[in-house]
Structure 1
Amino acid sequence: MDALRKMWRVPLGLTVPAFAILLVVFAVPAIQLFLISVDAPSFSLGNYLGFFAQSGNILILFQTIKVSVLTTFICLIIGYPTAYLIVNASKTASAALIVLVFIPWLTSGLVRTYAWTVILGDHGLINNVLIELNIISSPLSLLYNRLAVYIGMVHIVLPIMILPLVSVMYGIDKSLVAAARSMGARPSHAFWRVFFPLSLPAVRSGTLLVFVVCLGFYITPQALGGLSDAMLSNYIAAQLGSSLELGPVAAEAFILLLIATIMLSVFGLDVSGTQSHFGAVHKSERNRPSCSGKLRRKISEVAVPLRARRWTGHLYRPVHSAKWWNTLASLFVALVMMYLLFPGLIVVVMSFSAGAYLEFPPSGFSLQWYRSFFNDPSWTAAFWNSLQIGLMVTVLSTAVGTLAAFGLTRTSSRARKFLTMIILMPITFPVIVVGVASYLGLVNLGLIGTKMGIVLAHSLGAIAYVVVIVAATLANFDQRLEQAAKSMRAGPIRTFVRVTLPLIRPGIIGGAVFAFISSFDEVVITSLVSGFSLRTLPLKMLENMNQQIDPTIAAVGALLVLMPVLWIATLYFTLWRSRRAHEGGLAPAGLSHRPEVPSNIAA
């Protein structure tokens, strides 16, 4: 207990468990992997030169970059106006739309990929509808090509683009745009000169996140694309499963990591804040050459009377285009929401099919595939494996991540940024790189193919999610409450348990939920470290998707589609109860106003 109290008095000591897991399972193996890639201790670039010596490898590398860039661009084109319309909607509509974006983001990516195989297949929804309408006589080739890969990847990563944009746009002061309009600026001009520059940090963050995630895509290109649509992640996974030489695999992983690192370094996240960025925009405008500036001012002075008359004429003119604009905006948002949610609904409806195979629309409704799931030992065993691993990951990552977040918020700003960046590496690096490093780390520990090994590998990302969510909660925490408790002779541990913990409980529960989701849905890292003796539910689903023989996967997919609703309801009621308690003036446990408070919370 004394050692724990000493650690509590040193904030960085609370981050030791998180960094210990990170170092043993990921960081040290990553360094070892790099040394293997350069043939240490002889140190040569043979593995890298061997990769670039084959034209097929270069083709796969450029194809990976091309697909990632184009997917990111499509997400930005769709995600930015969607986020803008969500922010400018009414309060109720905005909250509902954010929930609708969250649901597919929390839904298993494997299930969403499976849904697109059903929609785009030769006997899928689109081809069946077109044939029924006599538009085509034979099925179109919509699956196993590059178009299907783009459709599936954009569908999975689009929420990752929308959510950061919405978060930053909500913080933009709308009075700035109103001020520009009041000075005669047209709506489009006010948007591009005021609102858009303030949203650029979110554009950069969302673009980087989507691009890095796309670099590590593995399942979607494999399930929806053809042989010519494979990405570097597929190549790395295939080599790791078929070759005993880690040198080429390590080189390929670090080539992919180098691309992600370059992007993060060159177009890194803007931590200076939006206002400073806005100031930088105007500063750059003031630094224009003096000749062009004088010319612009002269032209502007000549045009002032014309703009004044035009502004006066438009001031009291009824806006006829507002109705059409609102209709188009509503239609656009509805189409985006349908694109995000419809595949999951397809899986749910098909899971009740009464036929001998999956069809949409179902010829009849039955629970046969749900009975098949619960009566098949292979499916139930995979489900219990995933449930047990998910619960263990949740307990471990929530405890370790909460301590790390608490310690990081108590350190200096410079140290906090650096250490947080290290903890977030498992979710900012391409997932295939994390998987290869975890594989090597678990080989060193002798835990390949064990539940404990999978728990440690999953905890890398889960701890990062918990740290982010709990740290965000602690950022709004009033530390004067802790000081008040300590002034009444409460020790640091008692203060945390009786004061801090009740107030940050919603953030801890949110972090635990995200930790469980990230573990329960994980398939890429699990496929590398599970061996052949242990099957989780996502691995079982992937196996059946490849074989395409068991329609039970539709029932499993429907259950996983409905799970995010349960997660969101859990988070909502947790936050609602916390808010009701706060509004009702309920004091945290151990801080009531009774005279015996000092004796109750004293260390």
Structure 2
Amino acid sequence: MNALQKLGRTPFGLIMPALAILLVVFGVPIVQLFLESLDAPAISITNYQAFLNQPANIRVLLQTVEISAIATAICLIIGYPTAYLIVAAPKRLRIVLIVLVVIPYLTSGLARTYSWIVILGDSGLINNLLLKVGLISSPLPIIYNRMAVYVGMVHIMLPMMILPLISVMMGIDKSLMAAARSMGARPGTAFWRVFFPLSMPGVRSGTLLVFVICLGFYITPAALGGLGDAMLSTFIASQVSAAFSFGSIAASSFILLAIAIALLSMFGLDLSGTQGRKPQSLKSSQIRLDLLNRLKRLLNKLATSYRARRWTAHLHKASSEGHWSKIAGVVLLVLVNFYLLFPELVVIIMSFSDKSFLEFPPSGFSLQWYRSFLSDPTWYGSAWTSVQIGVAVSILATLVGTLAAYGLSRVRSDLRTLLTMILLTPITIPIIVVGVATYLGLVNLGLLGSQTGVVLAHTLGAIGYVVVIVSATLANFDRRLERAAMSMRARPMQAFVRVTLPLIRPGIIGGALFAFIHSFDEVVVTSLVSGFAVSTLPLKMWQNIRHEIDPTVAAVASLLTLLPVLWLVILYATWWRSRAQSKDVAAVPAAG
């Protein structure tokens, strides 16, 4: 008992509960899944050969990579200038713009996918509008094709590209751009030579995050795409539901996982791009490099006088590009926010229709679809199940995630990086692979198709969100406060409860909310591990969307769309209260 108590006080002992859940539900099953793919104990690559020998499988695999790459490229092309404009905006406007990006990020992905079905469908908003205007005589085929898949995927992933870029760009010293301009550099030159290289960590992390998540997309391609737009995750999910050979399922999963791991290994370990570079060892390469450097120095000397004259000429000249660039920036921000927010507003407005079908704008106002939701036991029963599971996941993930984050803050940096990467694995690899491994883990535990099993499955990803948010809060925590408390004979636990916990409470509450949101929105893993015994609200919505477009889904999607506003209010209230308390604490020494 004493040994366990001592272990619980060590940093590794604090991390152990989170690692134990990860190991039992995901770690051991993923190893078992790999052995299944090799037909253990008779090790062979038969399952991989069978996959690669099927032209249809190769086509689906290449199609998965192609769709993911194009969606990622679109997100980067739109997200980079958007993030740049947000960072360059005044402080108050910047906060508003970030909130407008965060709201879609927190909104249910299934609800956002449904909104595009409503907009792009044959009787959807766009076709109805064009038919009324008289521009078309029959509905346009703008859904169930590749373009619709890109529209839906980019809508879901764009905030995930913008937010990492904003985080990196806000840390760039703006005086460097001003220094470049003062030395005669044009705005474009200063941007490409100074700002863009410094923003590359955000570009790399955002691109990797979006691409790897896109590899595991299942719901959006299945809902918006046609038969020729299936991705490998859809293929794997159909194999699981059909009780196909588990060796084939494992091989398909590990082929998808191998792509993600290869990319993370090449680009994810060093975002600065300096680690792992080998020095030039070829003499010819050194000679060419030396000649190029000498030529560059010569050209710089010849251009010095020209730069000096140009800087003097332009020093007091009004910029002709500023007005139009500002207009273009405003237009871009308006279009991006319209793209992110308008589909959700459409669903909210259409949910109040008084007709037996969805129309925009509604001809009359009615709450019939909300009453349908509240009077149908299958709907409100699924919602209550989701709430129960979400609360359980939030409590469990917040407890073990906070302990893990606190333990990680007390270990050396190299070990902290390794352990953090392990804890974040379920949210950094394709979700379909996590679902298959979790399916196998719950089979081992005898919890497949149970509510407890679903809670454990959701907790895997929720722990990662809690660890990230609480760790960010602890990064700004002054450890000297703990040491001061212990110097006054406070025990470590007392110092944590009385000093540390109140100061990191906003991070803990934020982590708990994100854990709940993650669980409440989860549908891919749930569809694999719930069986027919557990029906959550997202699972009920997905089944309804696939089989019948019931307008009740619009009411449910509206409620899920409004939830992020509630989360943001709670987070803001928590932050404001914490800020007021910190000001009071700071004022006590000043008063003394």
Which of the five TM-score ranges fits, normalised by the shorter chain? over 0.9
Query: Counterpart in 1 of 2:556?
Result: 556
Query: Counterpart in 2 of 1:303?
Result: 303
Query: Counterpart in 2 of 1:314?
Result: 314
Query: Counterpart in 1 of 2:7?
Result: 7
Give 1:3 shift: 5.9
Query: Counterpart in 2 of 1:41?
Result: 41
The residue matched to 2:585 in structure 1 has which SS?
coil
TM-score, normalised relative to structure 1: 0.94
Which residue identity does 1:352 align to in structure 2? Answer: F
Residue 438 (structure 1) aligned with residue 434 (structure 2): no
Query: Counterpart in 2 of 1:330?
Result: 330
Counterpart CA distance in 2 for 1:69 and 1:410 is 38
Query: Counterpart in 1 of 2:141?
Result: 141
Aligned ranges for residues 392-541 of structure 1 at < 5 Å? 392-541=392-541
Aligned ranges for residues 573-584 of structure 1 at < 5 Å? 573-584=573-584
Query: Counterpart in 2 of 1:92?
Result: 92
Which residue identity does 1:95 align to in structure 2? Answer: I
Counterpart CA distance in 1 for 2:336 and 2:498 is 45
Counterpart CA distance in 1 for 2:17 and 2:315 is 63
Counterpart CA distance in 1 for 2:518 and 2:374 is 24
Counterpart CA distance in 1 for 2:322 and 2:581 is 42
Counterpart CA distance in 1 for 2:24 and 2:104 is 33
Query: Counterpart in 1 of 2:366?
Result: 366
CA-to-aligned-CA distance 1:412-456 (integer Å, 9 cap, x gap): 111111111110100001000000000000001111111100000
Structure 2 residue ranges without an equivalent (≥5): 279-285
Give 1:135 shift: 1.6
Counterpart CA distance in 1 for 2:310 and 2:528 is 66
Query: Counterpart in 2 of 1:29?
Result: 29
Change beyond 3 A, Cα 1:177–1:404: same
Which residue identity does 1:334 align to in structure 2? Answer: V
Counterpart CA distance in 2 for 1:270 and 1:475 is 20
Counterpart CA distance in 1 for 2:399 and 2:488 is 27
Contact 1:11 1:407 in 2 (8 A): yes
Counterpart CA distance in 1 for 2:520 and 2:449 is 17
Change beyond 3 A, Cα 1:3–1:386: farther
Contact 2:205 2:271 in 1 (8 A): no
User: Which moved further from structure 2: 439-448 or 308-317?
Assistant: 308-317
Give 1:549 shift: 3.8
Query: Counterpart in 2 of 1:110?
Result: 110
Query: Counterpart in 2 of 1:261?
Result: 261
Query: Counterpart in 2 of 1:380?
Result: 380
Query: Counterpart in 1 of 2:283?
Result: none
Residue 190 (structure 1) aligned with residue 190 (structure 2): yes
Contact 2:379 2:537 in 1 (8 A): yes
Counterpart CA distance in 1 for 2:586 and 2:570 is 21
Change beyond 3 A, Cα 1:51–1:475: same
The residue matched to 2:346 in structure 1 has which SS?
helix
Counterpart CA distance in 1 for 2:531 and 2:167 is 40
Aligned ranges for residues 200-215 of structure 1 at < 5 Å? 200-215=200-215
Counterpart CA distance in 1 for 2:493 and 2:550 is 53
Query: Counterpart in 2 of 1:597?
Result: none
Contact 1:216 1:430 in 2 (8 A): yes
Counterpart CA distance in 1 for 2:2 and 2:353 is 61
Which residue identity does 2:265 align to in structure 1? Answer: S
Give 1:241 shift: 0.6
Contact 2:204 2:271 in 1 (8 A): no
Residue 128 (structure 1) aligned with residue 128 (structure 2): yes
Give 1:542 shift: 0.3
CA-to-aligned-CA distance 1:1-37 (integer Å, 9 cap, x gap): 9566423431100111101100110000000010000
Change beyond 3 A, Cα 1:38–1:140: same
Counterpart CA distance in 1 for 2:306 and 2:33 is 68
Give 1:306 shift: 2.2
Contact 1:5 1:492 in 2 (8 A): no
Counterpart CA distance in 1 for 2:49 and 2:91 is 56
Contact 2:82 2:333 in 1 (8 A): yes
Aligned ranges for residues 243-258 of structure 1 at < 5 Å? 243-258=243-258
Sequence identity percentage: 63
Counterpart CA distance in 2 for 1:199 and 1:160 is 16
Give 1:244 shift: 4.1
Query: Counterpart in 1 of 2:175?
Result: 175
Counterpart CA distance in 2 for 1:541 and 1:229 is 22
Give 1:218 shift: 0.1
Counterpart CA distance in 2 for 1:421 and 1:126 is 44
CA-to-aligned-CA distance 1:17-64 (integer Å, 9 cap, x gap): 101100110000000010000000000000000000100000000000
Query: Counterpart in 2 of 1:58?
Result: 58
Give 1:310 shift: 1.8
Change beyond 3 A, Cα 1:160–1:269: farther
Counterpart CA distance in 2 for 1:295 and 1:494 is 66
Runs of 4+ in 1 over 4 A off after TM superposition: 1-5
Contact 1:506 1:574 in 2 (8 A): yes
Contact 1:390 1:520 in 2 (8 A): yes
Query: Counterpart in 2 of 1:598?
Result: none
Which residue identity does 2:68 align to in structure 1? Answer: S
Counterpart CA distance in 2 for 1:81 and 1:168 is 13
Structure 1 residue ranges without an equivalent (≥5): 281-285, 595-603
Counterpart CA distance in 1 for 2:302 and 2:464 is 57
Counterpart CA distance in 2 for 1:384 and 1:396 is 18
The residue matched to 1:131 in structure 2 has which SS?
helix
Give 1:364 shift: 0.7
Counterpart CA distance in 2 for 1:42 and 1:68 is 35
Counterpart CA distance in 2 for 1:297 and 1:477 is 47
Give 1:292 shift: 2.2
Counterpart CA distance in 1 for 2:176 and 2:551 is 55
User: Which moved further from structure 2: 115-124 or 304-313?
Assistant: 304-313
Counterpart CA distance in 2 for 1:326 and 1:269 is 37
Give 1:271 shift: 5.6
CA-to-aligned-CA distance 1:109-138 (integer Å, 9 cap, x gap): 000000000100111111112222222121
Counterpart CA distance in 2 for 1:327 and 1:121 is 33
Change beyond 3 A, Cα 1:264–1:287: farther
Counterpart CA distance in 1 for 2:528 and 2:15 is 28
Give 1:586 shift: 6.3
Query: Counterpart in 2 of 1:391?
Result: 391
Query: Counterpart in 1 of 2:281?
Result: none
Counterpart CA distance in 1 for 2:224 and 2:232 is 16
Contact 1:401 1:466 in 2 (8 A): yes
Structure 1 vs Structure 2 CA RMSD: 2.0
CA-to-aligned-CA distance 1:491-537 (integer Å, 9 cap, x gap): 11111111110010010001000000000000000000000121000
Contact 1:201 1:269 in 2 (8 A): no
Contact 2:370 2:555 in 1 (8 A): yes
The residue matched to 1:449 in structure 2 has which SS?
coil
Query: Counterpart in 2 of 1:156?
Result: 156
Contact 1:510 1:571 in 2 (8 A): yes
Contact 2:221 2:231 in 1 (8 A): yes
The residue matched to 1:585 in structure 2 has which SS?
helix
CA-to-aligned-CA distance 1:326-361 (integer Å, 9 cap, x gap): 111000011000101111101100110111111111
